[in-house]
């Protein structure tokens, strides 16, 4: 099972959602993202939100069309997207893909990016990606990983989100590294590129945010 979550980010940043549909996919809508899914003939199984970003008419349609609507007060400790992600993690899917989480308000964007870090800290190994029209973002804990070349997203950046990432090694890249310690705030690993069909990255300590971009 793959859980796709659509948040309420600007529609112009969304990739074609139909390309991520399939029999194994369960769609979840967050706040205005629920209405966006319905407008694209993609019916979410669950809806989460305080729904302060939809009109009364749109809200009535959501209540009519969606079987399970989780309604929360605007005054709460978690964002609507975090509540949806927590539910998705409990379902133990093979992967989680989040759309509509970039653009718009900077505070929401920063919070959404940080949602990728928490499961790694908790030892949850379900792959989670934030995807928009130009970027794919995910986080990794210590280990060795293979990454394949994509002509549509040739730039790959590695951003430390802990004070130190130790023994970072990159192979198959235009700018390789061997057992390098990279500190939080460093731009050393921005805009790298694969020179082979696939490459590897590995490190012994810390957490990396991996960002694939088209430009």
Domains 2-133 and 140-213 are alike in CATH topology: yes
Q: Going residue by residue through the chain, which has 215 residues, state the pLDDT in tens, using 9 for 90 and above.
A: 999 999 988 999 999 999 999 899 999 999 889 989 988 999 899 999 888 877 888 888 888 888 888 888 777 778 899 999 999 999 999 999 999 999 888 998 999 999 999 889 888 889 999 999 999 999 999 999 999 999 899 999 999 999 999 999 999 999 999 999 999 999 999 999 999 999 999 999 999 999 999 98
Enumerate the domain spans of the chain: 2-133, 140-213
Residues 6+ apart with CB under 8 A from 122: none
Q: Give the count of alpha carbons within 13 A of 214, CB side only.
A: 9
Q: What is the pTM (predicted TM-score) of this model? A: 0.92
Maximum distance among all alpha carbons in the chain?
57
**Comparing C-alpha atoms, which of 117, 120, 156, 119 is closest to residue 136?**
156
Looking at residue 46, its pLDDT comes to 92
The domain defined by 2-133 folds into Rossmann fold (3.40.50)
DSSP bridge partners of 131: 99, 136
Instruction: Beginning with the edge strand found earlier in the chain, give each strand of the sheet holding 198-203 in spatial order.
Output: 143-148, 198-203, 164-171, 177-183
pLDDT at 75: 73
**Fold category of 140-213 in CATH:** Rossmann fold (3.40.50)
* Residues shown for the chain: 215
């Amino acid at each position: 099972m793959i859980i796709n979550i659509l948040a309420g980010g600007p529609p112009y940043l969304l990739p074609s959602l139909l390309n991520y549909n399939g029999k194994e996919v369960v769609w979840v809508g967050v706040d205005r993202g629920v209405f966006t899914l319905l407008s694209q003939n993609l019916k979410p199984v669950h809806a989460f939100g305080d729904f302060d970003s939809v009109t009364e008419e749109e809200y009535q349609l959501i209540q009519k069309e969606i079987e399970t609507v989780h309604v929360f007060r605007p005054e709460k400790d978690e964002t609507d997207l975090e509540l949806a992600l927590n539910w998705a993690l409990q379902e133990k899917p093979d992967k989680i893909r989040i759309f509509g989480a970039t653009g718009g308000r900077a505070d929401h964007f920063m919070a959404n990016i940080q949602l990728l870090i928490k499961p790694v800290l908790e030892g949850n190994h379900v792959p989670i990606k934030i995807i928009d029209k130009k970027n794919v973002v995910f986080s990794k804990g210590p280990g060795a990983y293979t990454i394949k070349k994509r002509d549509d997203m040739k730039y790959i950046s590695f951003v430390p989100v802990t004070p130190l990432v130790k023994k970072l090694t990159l192979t198959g890249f235009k700018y390789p590294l061997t057992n390098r310690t990279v500190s939080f705030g460093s731009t050393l690993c921005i805009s790298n590129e694969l020179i082979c069909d696939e490459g590897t990255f590995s490190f012994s300590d810390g957490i990396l945010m991996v960002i694939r971009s088209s430009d």
